[in-house]
A and B are shown apart, each in its own frame.
Chain A
Amino acid sequence: MNQVESAALPPADLLDLDPTWSRLVVALDHSGRSCTWHLLDSFAQRPGDIARLTLLCVHGNPTWSYLWRRLVRMAPADVRVVAVDQLEMGFSERTGTHRRLASRVADLSGLTERLGITGPVVTVAHDWGGPISLGWALEHLPQLVGIVLLNTAVQQPPGARAPALIRLARSGPLLALNTVRTTAFLRGTTALSGSKMTKQTAKAFRAPYQTPGRRVAIGAFVADIPLESDHPSADTLNLIANGLAKFGQVPMLLLWGPGDPVFSDLYLGDLMMRAPHADVHRYEGARHLVSEDDDRVFPDLLRWVSGLSAGERSNLQPVVALPAEQVHATRLWDGLHEAAEQGPTGTAIVEMSGAGRRVSWRQLADTVDKLAAGLHSSGINPGHRVALLIPPGADLIAVVYACWRIGAGVVIADAGLGVNGMRRAIRGAAPDHVIGISRGLALARTLRIPGLRLSVKGLAAIARIGAPLPPEPAPSATAVIVFTSGATGPAKGVVYQQAQVAGTRDVLRRHYAITPSDAIVAAFAPWAVFGPTLGVASVIPDMDVTKPRTLQAVALAEATAAVDGTLLWASPAALTNVIATAGVLSTTQRQSFKSLRLVLAAGAPVPLQLLEQVKELVPNADVRTPYGMTEVLPVSESTLAEIRAAAGGNGVLVGNPVSGVKIAISALDDQGRPVGPLSTEVEVTGEICVQAAHMRDRYDRLWATNAMAGRDIGWHRTGDIGHLDTSGRLWVEGRLAHLIVTAAGPVTPVGVEQQVQQLPFVRLAAAVGIGPIGNQQVIVIITTCDQTAKGLLDVDRTKLVRAQVMGIHIAAVLVRDELPVDIRHNSKIDRAALSVWADGILAGHR
């Protein structure tokens, strides 16, 4: 069946493929024989031009150069893209030879020699093209300027079994049946892409593999995967895998579809371990054919490549240098030790749930040190990542500080992400160990975490190990990976160094004048962790942390009374329910709120009415709403009085920056792109940019997101839209992702929504855009206070809505029973989903 067939040009009608890119090139293969390759060459029509650099693209099995078609199209004029069809594959020659890995590396070298590619090269490869391209790279180090790998592997990661699909495909007689005689493997691979692949695209991927004879190499490729150490290609693969160390100085970019059932995140972890300097971007939701599943892959790749040639360090990170005298003060565990010395029996933590545990400063300091020693001797090392699936409380706090003391980073995926979101988030952060309650460990079971799996119940035993404390970590050690709420796309992991967590602590202490006489009522879970480093007692109210909106007024009162709380941090959703259940409070319980001096309603925009009601409940407290995000908090804040005075403005007033924070606006162009230089000019709407010592280090494994959010060195682009007023106060007008770009220019949603919500029959409003960017129509979606039928709002009330928002055309108003909101805050409206919904309705019949 080893059929011989000459190379050919692809059919002219394949989707997205320009026939003028195709070339047939004869080159000597590893055995010195002339073979004909089919390849795509962006310089095919201008052979005399000299490229600044060449992207040498190598496909895997069973795809072909078609995989790179969009890269060929998108590449700038001075970047040459050469995408080959490997011999026996695609439209290249079928010579009847069974080519092993070593031969294929030599074959590729023969081709590049024939093509005269002598200038700088970035290798780009997918799947089993990875080892081949790396083999080529090892032999061409002098001209190698970069390496890009998409879902590939150089070895079975330690502990991993061969991917089930490959194992299945390789199992003896099934091999030929799967790969050659039928199109099962071929179809399986195109099906490994997400839902996005159209029939036409799938057909194009299969185009060169129409007959069993043309598919022989697909089987041969699978057979050449060295699952056994005595496999003929095992040595070559080892050589290549170990050769990765030689690429220490070569910039590397790993672009990954984490939903790949073949090359899972474990393989990404293996590559990152071999090349710790590599830039990484995981495209949440994408699968094996990552560049088919996510349109951002090639633009990101080209941006990375352009950074290479500009001589920049590819990994654009904001540099936040701390003054030397501050470094000592940044140790996160100092606060609790100082408190333990000054008042050992004083209360550090009170848990209101269950039996109501109370932990003294001495107990906490002791536990943290002993746990740090025990966990370290059990295998948790500096630089490791530890996923914590423990509800807020004394256990969580002790483990967090113990990990910090070791220099390990804690991965905290809060329940607000939902179960699937938590699982996705943790998998993405690739923790080395997990510590959790039994429900948490069950959730982590399928995540293949390689190291310790510790139950909270086992912590006491760990603390008794009695090992020496490890040396103190550097302030640059990773402290925590937390996650964005995912209100605009999948949750992103946000990495903080210890110095940056300490920076947040210092801002809180300074800005709110926190002293040891304060006590925190931590109804907003993340904040409970700051109590010990501030040296301040904290109480965690009895509440279901997965549902902040279930916090009862009685539970909050009892928690406040337990520590004579002075500082309350709560989400708007929790406060809403506190107000709703305040009726049952006894006089004594009401009295307990009098100890509060400051209430911070944080996490999402807070309606004025709610703040007024809260103020009534806590008469002695200053009620404020800090503005910030997972990446930096707090940024600014506004007081109740300011918010009262601000009604009618365009957006939500979030106030003046807190000390140490700089705010600037990057103005929008008429297409809604935030392209303006960072500026503090007033009344200009644009993306809000922030600079602060306490902001995040970076996003985790999201190279392109880091490059975008950090493209102004030292600044964080928030993705929020707003403006500064004449008093230097910041107003938020919505999310960049929710901007409506009409023919008359950009429209920000929040101002429109606030105006519409003034109408008596409107409960909630969302403003979204439908249609192409730059020519969108504004659609308003409301929930009503009465029983208005779902669907189109009647004409008379539609006119009232229009009259409410002068100067902006509203094409239609739709009524829903409720608006979709995020789980964590229960208040961030998913305008993107609403836009898709509205577009579907108003398109009429399709």
Chain B
Amino acid sequence: MRVLVTGASGLLGAATANAIAIRGHEIVVFQRRASGLPFDEVRGDILDGEALTRALFGIDGVVHLAAKVSITGSRSEFESVNVEGTRQLLQSAKAAGVRSFVHVSSPSVAHDGMPIIGAGALPANPQTARGVYAVTKAQAELLALAEDEPDFAVVAIRPHLVWGPGDEQLIGRIIARARVGRLFLIDHGVALIDTTYVDNAASALAAAVERVAEPTVHGRAFVVTNGEPRTVAELLTEITRAAGLPAPKRSVPFGAAYRAGQLAERAWGSRGAEPPLTRFLVEQLATAHWFDQRQTCAALAWAPDVSLATGFERLTKWYQRG
């Protein structure tokens, strides 16, 4: 099988391309900048139909990771990359005769801000999703699943809070704050949340590539996690320790943190910079969200094989190597 992976320059994209290749498939990667990966590569913008057509030549399956994931940015930027980019890729892929499409989504597409306690993949809902990233990802997932048909099997995979050595998104931000002594807990970090070690997310996506046409798989959305929820306090302690930094001790009440997030959004928003705290982030750090992935495991014939403990060991080694 020849598989196109979009967004392969990121942590998860690269790991996914490798995981699929190890299973004996040919890989083509597609992104704006050079990936540095040992695969055929087409560089281009996700909205560039011509570049996409080149990349999709001879492709059997697509794994679509390319997305705008940052915390800041204008609504139109998110919409153009996440929604229009997905629409463009779906059209081009269909036109190119691609048979299967693994859309990488996020559990936030179905998260309305209330605690998620052991729930499975609920339908994506752009009306209730929190924040522009989640809203646009919800729209993109609905677009993708709507294209599912007998000759074009689509599945949405939603890995939750992916992290690993070299991760700039989650780990990088936490460590940056810890280094300047500005990492604190909200409500003592008691909320229980699921995370996903990058290799597990990658193996789930690789499994999805092979299983997408199965009747229990295509047309549906699946949550992927390590299946080991932990409190925020424990996760932050493990992450900071891995980097040789002291664990966060200070805790602020939810209300105060939420108001601070609101102020920061206004202050930094007017400057167009990334605020150190947002209301969305406060909610994410203070509210339980852990999931039911029994259906995921059954449908993808997959299970996470790197435990959190092993993941943190690897993270520690990575920081020790500098």
- Which residues of chain A have a CB within 8 Å of any CB of chain B? 743, 770-772, 774-777, 791-792, 795, 798, 809, 811-812, 839, 841-846
A–B pairs, 12, beta carbons within 8 Å: A743-B227, A777-B290, A792-B234, A795-B233, A812-B230, A812-B231, A843-B115, A844-B192, A844-B288, A845-B115, A845-B254, A845-B287
Determine if B188 and A843 form an interchain contact, defined as CB atoms under 8 angstroms apart: no
> Does B90 have its Cβ within 8 Å of any Cβ on chain A?
no
Interface set, chain B 209-267, CB cutoff 8 A to A: 227-234, 237-238, 247, 254
Complex alpha-carbon distance, A136 and B251, angstroms = 67
Considering the complex, give the chain A residue whose CB is closest to the CB of B247. A795
Contact assessment for A844 and B294 in the assembled complex, using a CB-CB cutoff below 8 Å: no
Complex Cα gap A771–B227 (Å):
13
Q: Are A844's CB and B286's CB within 8 A? A: yes
Q: Say if the beta carbon of B187 comes within 8 Å of chain A.
A: yes
Q: Is B190 an interface residue (CB 8 A)?
A: yes
Distance (whole angstroms) from the CB of B286 to the closest CB of chain A: 4
Say yes or no: B117 contacts A770, CB within 8 Å.
Answer: yes
Evaluate whether A846 and B115 lie within 8 angstroms (CB atoms) in the complex, with A771-B290, A775-B292, A811-B229 already known.
Answer: yes
Within the complex, the shortest CB–CB distance from B193 to chain A, in Å, comes to 8
Given A774-B294, A777-B192, A795-B238, decide whether A842 and B231 contact each other with a Cβ distance below 8 A. Answer: yes
Take A777-B290, A811-B192, A844-B187 as given contacts and tell me if A795 and B234 are in contact as well, using a CB distance cutoff of 8 Å. Answer: yes
Cα–Cα distance between A420 and B41 once the two chains are bound (Å)? 75
Residues of A within 8 A of B56 (CB): none
* Nearest-Cβ distance from residue A171 to partner chain B, whole angstroms: 47
Top 4 A-B pairs, shortest CB-CB distance: A844-B191, A771-B118, A845-B286, A843-B115
Do B115 and A743 touch (CB < 8 A)? Answer: no
Other 14 A-B pairs with CB < 8 A, given A777-B118, A811-B229, A812-B234 = A743-B294, A777-B290, A792-B234, A795-B238, A798-B234, A811-B231, A812-B230, A812-B231, A839-B117, A841-B190, A843-B117, A845-B187, A845-B191, A845-B283
Kindly identify which residue among A774, A791, A844 contacts B115, using a CB–CB cutoff of 8 Å: A844
Contact residues of B with A, CB < 8 Å? 114-115, 117-119, 186-192, 227-234, 237-238, 247, 254, 283, 286-288, 290, 292-294
For B192, the chain A residues whose CB sits under 8 A away are 777, 811-812, 842-844
> Using Cβ atoms and an 8 Å threshold, which residues of chain B touch A777?
118, 192, 229, 290
Q: Which label, helix, strand, loop or mixed, suits the secondary structure of the B interface? A: mixed
Q: Which residue of A lies closest to B229 (CB)?
A: A811
Q: With A and B bound together, what is the CA distance between A213 and B119 in angstroms?
A: 46
Chain A residues near B228 (CB-CB < 8 A)? 809, 811
The distance in angstroms between the C-alpha atoms of A774 and B292, with both chains bound, is 9
A208 to B190, CA, bound (A): 46
Residues on A with C-beta less than 8 A from B119 are: 772
Give min CB distance, B110 to chain A, whole Å: 16
Chain A residues with CB under 8 Å of B118's CB are: 770-772, 775-777
Q: Closest CB of chain B to A815's CB: distance in Å?
A: 12
Residues of the A chain whose Cβ atoms lie less than 8 Å from the Cβ of B290: 771, 777, 811
A772 with B117, Cβ < 8 A, contacts A843-B288, A844-B191 known: yes
Report the bound CA distance from A775 to B294 in whole Å: 8
For residue B294, which residues in chain A have a CB less than 8 angstroms away from its CB?
A: 743, 774-775
Asked whether, in the complex, the Cβ of A791 is within 8 Å of the Cβ of B227, the reply is no
Report whether A811 and B115 are in contact in the complex, using a CB–CB cutoff of 8 Å.
Answer: no
With CB as the reference atom, state the residue of chain A lying closest to B294.
A743
Chain A residues, CB < 8 A from B232: 844
Across the A-B interface, how many residue pairs have beta carbons closer than 8 Å?
Answer: 82
Q: Is the CB of B114 within 8 A of A846?
A: yes
* Cα(A792)–Cα(B247), bound, Å: 14
Q: Shortest CB–CB separation between residue A791 and chain B, in angstroms?
A: 6
- A792 neighbours in B (Cβ, 8 Å): 188-190, 231, 233-234
Q: With A and B bound together, what is the CA distance between A776 and B292 in angstroms?
A: 9
Tell whether, in the assembled complex, residue B190 and residue A811 are in contact, meaning their CB atoms are under 8 Å apart: no
Q: Once bound together, how far apart are the Cα atoms of A92 and B115, in whole Å?
A: 42
Name A770's closest neighbour in chain B (CB-CB). B117
Complex Cα distance A324/B186, Å? 72
Closest beta carbon of chain B to A722's beta carbon, Å:
27
Closest to A769 in B: B118
B117–A844 contact, CB under 8 A? no
Known contacts A842-B231, A844-B187, A844-B191; is A743 also within 8 Å of B287 by CB?
no
Question: Is the Cβ of B114 less than 8 Å from the Cβ of A842?
Answer: no
A145 to chain B, nearest CB (A): 42
Q: State whether B230 touches A811 (Cβ < 8 A).
A: yes
B residues in contact with A774, CB < 8 Å: 292, 294
Determine the distance from Cα of A791 to Cα of B191 in the docked complex, in whole angstroms.
12
Residues of A within 8 A of B188 (CB): 791-792
- CB-defined contacts of B287 to chain A, threshold 8 Å: 843-846
Chain A residues positioned under 8 Å from B283 (CB to CB):
845
- B292: nearest residue on chain A (CB-CB)? A775
Neighbouring A residues of B117 by C-beta, 8 Å: 770-772, 839, 843
Supposing A811-B228, A844-B190, A845-B287 touch, asked if A795 and B115 sit within 8 A by C-beta, the answer is no
Chain A, Cβ-Cβ closest to B293 = A743
Set of chain B residues within 8 Å of A798, measured between Cβ atoms: 234
Least CB distance from B297 to A in Å reads: 8
Bound CA span A811–B232, Å: 11
Between A772, A809, A839, A844, the greatest number of chain B beta carbons within 10 A of the residue's beta carbon is seen for A844
User: When chains A and B are docked, how far (Å) is the Cα of A809 from the Cα of B187?
Assistant: 24
> How close is B1's CB to chain A, nearest CB, in angstroms?
30
**What residues of A have a CB within 8 angstroms of the CB of B191 in the complex?**
842-845
Q: How far is the CA of A792 from the CA of B293 in the complex (A)?
A: 26
The distance from the CB of B196 to the nearest CB of chain A, in whole angstroms, is 15
Question: In whole angstroms, how far apart are the Cα atoms of A775 and B283 in the complex?
Answer: 24
Residues of the A chain whose Cβ atoms lie less than 8 Å from the Cβ of B115: 843-846
Tell me the smallest distance from the CB of B308 to a CB of chain A, in Å: 10
- The answer to whether A795 touches B237 (Cβ under 8 A) is yes
In the complex the two chains form, what is the Cα distance from A845 to B286 in whole Å? 6
Cβ–Cβ < 8 Å partners of A846 in chain B: 114-115, 287
Contact (A791, B190) CB under 8 Å given A770-B117, A771-B117, A845-B287: yes
Name the A residues within 8 Å of B227 (CB-CB).
743, 809
CA distance A843 to B118 in the complex (A): 11
Nearest chain A CB to B278 CB, angstrom units: 15
Complex alpha-carbon distance, A743 and B290, angstroms: 13
**What distance in Å separates the Cβ of B276 from its nearest Cβ neighbour in chain A?**
20
A809 smallest CB distance to B (angstroms): 6
Pick from A791, A839, A843, A845 the residue with the most CB of B within 10 Å. A845
A841 proximity list for chain B (CB < 8 A) = 190
Q: How far is the CA of A839 from the CA of B299 in the complex (A)?
A: 29
Nearest B-chain residue to A791, judged by Cβ? B188
Interface centre among B234, B237, B254 (most CB of A within 10 A): B234
CB distance from A286 to the nearest CB of B (A): 27
Complex: how many Å from CA A792 to CA B294?
28
Whether B190 pairs with A743 at a CB distance below 8 angstroms is no
List chain B residues, Cβ under 8 A from A791.
Answer: 188, 190
Bound-complex Cα distance A258 to B189 (A): 43
Q: For A771, what are the chain B residues with a Cβ–Cβ distance below 8 Å?
A: 117-118, 290
Q: How far is the CB of A216 from chain B (nearest CB, A)?
A: 43
Q: Are A772 and B229 in contact (CB under 8 A)?
A: no
The residue in B190, B237, B294 that gathers the most chain A C-beta atoms within 10 A of its C-beta is B190
Best-surrounded residue of A772, A798, A843, A846 (most CB of chain B within 10 A):
A843
A442-B254 Cα distance, complex, nearest whole Å: 49
Bound Cα distance from A743 to B230, whole angstroms: 16
Q: Cα distance A811–B230 when bound, in Å?
A: 6
Q: Which residue of chain B has the shortest Cβ distance to A842 in the bound complex?
A: B192
| Distance to closest chain A CB from B266 (angstroms) | 22
Interfacial chain B residues near A770, Cβ < 8 Å: 117-118
Which residues from chain A contact B186 at a C-beta distance below 8 Å? 845
